[in-house]
A and B are shown apart, each in its own frame.
Chain A
């Protein structure tokens, strides 16, 4: 059930009516029922996966909580061993399932190609959003291991945390401490939450239907047959792919967060205007924030303070001089984190290269930072001035753009070929000879897309200055608020649904 479909609208409206009609104590159950209707709509069999993950992680967290309660009455080392074994077993079960579903075929194909043997692919169906709910529930188990907060004892309420329908298929990846209590709280309709929720849903629909779907038409036409186009058009299509990806994913997240707000529930931000990033590390702090936060708390920190990496750090600080000595262990862990971020997207080797690309850049930035600082000082350059900031933004955008060649091409070699053609066959003529109108969009589509992107840029520019647009709009009189909502609704209906021809795509990030 897509977020942009009529059944989804009916589900949200029906759930809202029921949610605010039943007694407060039963409200969470309405959300749980709606969540499973949403999920089982696609396939009742695939619904077994979230149930299995919920059961495994629920029981593991209860057991870890019981072990934590024995702190003081049980031998410390033995307790730690028990907890570690429990946690490791649970994570292995969950990530083992994820591996079997998402990666096993890819690994078998690669191994087969390297060894000359032929493996029959399992061709298992990957349930939508499985990475999201596995990451979210495994984060909960690690928090239970660390004893960060009391675990949820009500199985139904925990099941809702795992399966809450707005976030189940493409995130954001929430933490139980933030989301769990909100899901089970009793609520009355709140005009501010309802208004804010509707605005956010409309904004998300605008980004997805008006912007991303239009950009997708060009991307599909050009990239799937890139050898037929010159370098300029390939570059044009990859820029459109960046636009598509951002509109699609952040639009989907806005819809998810907006729907949650209709129920009075606040979910974490997943994007913070990545176009304004001034470095690749800054980009990753603004893009898919909840995945980055998950990787930081459950992979980066534990590995950084693990015995092998602590020993590596001590060795590096003792034997290597300068920045290299300080950052060697951090860089090594960074590579591992970006390897995981890379393969999060899929089993194809190109995603490993995408992870490495980011790891190399971040490590290079850490190593070169003292050099940059010295150069800036020597030439009296104010690195915080607007012009230099703009330069850093453009530089970051270019780096991200190159990374997108890797993720969008069919293979890593295909990405290199596309990059090579971009440089070697670059020509401006196709931008003036009518080629642009043969890429799946009409002149009117280009105008709609251009104006929409300008609006998006202006809104994000204002937000970047710290203005909370919805709060600010909430302070205006009722007429202005209604006018804004009416205008956005009209744009979404006209340019998102009505005047759109054959342009339509599913959400990209649902496949993860």
Chain B
């Protein structure tokens, strides 16, 4: 989880990934940042993500993103 937060913070330095729980719903990250996050996750964790995974519930918090990564690594 710490590694993921460090990775996310590198992409969006102004966002508090440890505490934010409405990243998509409250538009804390925009579409460019979301694409950058997904691309980085796919490269770093060697997982496949699809446009159908781009649901707010998968990206609203670092924890949700972590769960998504785990489910794809599964």
Contacts and interface: CB of A to CB of B under 8 A. Distances in A.
Interface residues of A, number: 20
Contact of B32 (A305, A310, A317, A330): A330
A395 interface: no
Interface string B34-54: 011011001100000111101
A329 B31 CA distance: 13
Nearest to A305: B51
A334 B52 CA distance: 20
Nearest to B55: A148
B30 interface: yes
Given A146-B52, A281-B30, A285-B30, A304 B43 contact: no
A450 to B, nearest CB: 34
A313 interface: yes
At the interface, is chain A mostly helix, strand, loop or mixed? helix
Given A302-B51, A305-B49, A296 B39 contact: no
Nearest to A384: B14
Contacts, number: 39
A330 B35 CA distance: 8
Nearest to A334: B32
A195 to B, nearest CB: 28
A146 B51 CA distance: 9
Most A Cβ at <10 Å: residue of B32, B38, B49: B32
Interface string A310-321: 100110010000
Interface in A2-34: none
B42 to A, nearest CB: 8
Contact of B31 (A146, A300, A310, A314): A300
Interface of B: 27, 30-32, 35-36, 38-39, 42-43, 49-52, 54
16 contacts: A281-B32, A300-B31, A300-B35, A301-B31, A301-B51, A302-B51, A304-B35, A304-B39, A305-B51, A313-B39, A317-B39, A326-B36, A327-B32, A330-B35, A333-B35, A334-B32
Interface of A: 146, 281, 285, 296, 300-302, 304-305, 310, 313-314, 317, 326-327, 329-330, 333-334, 366
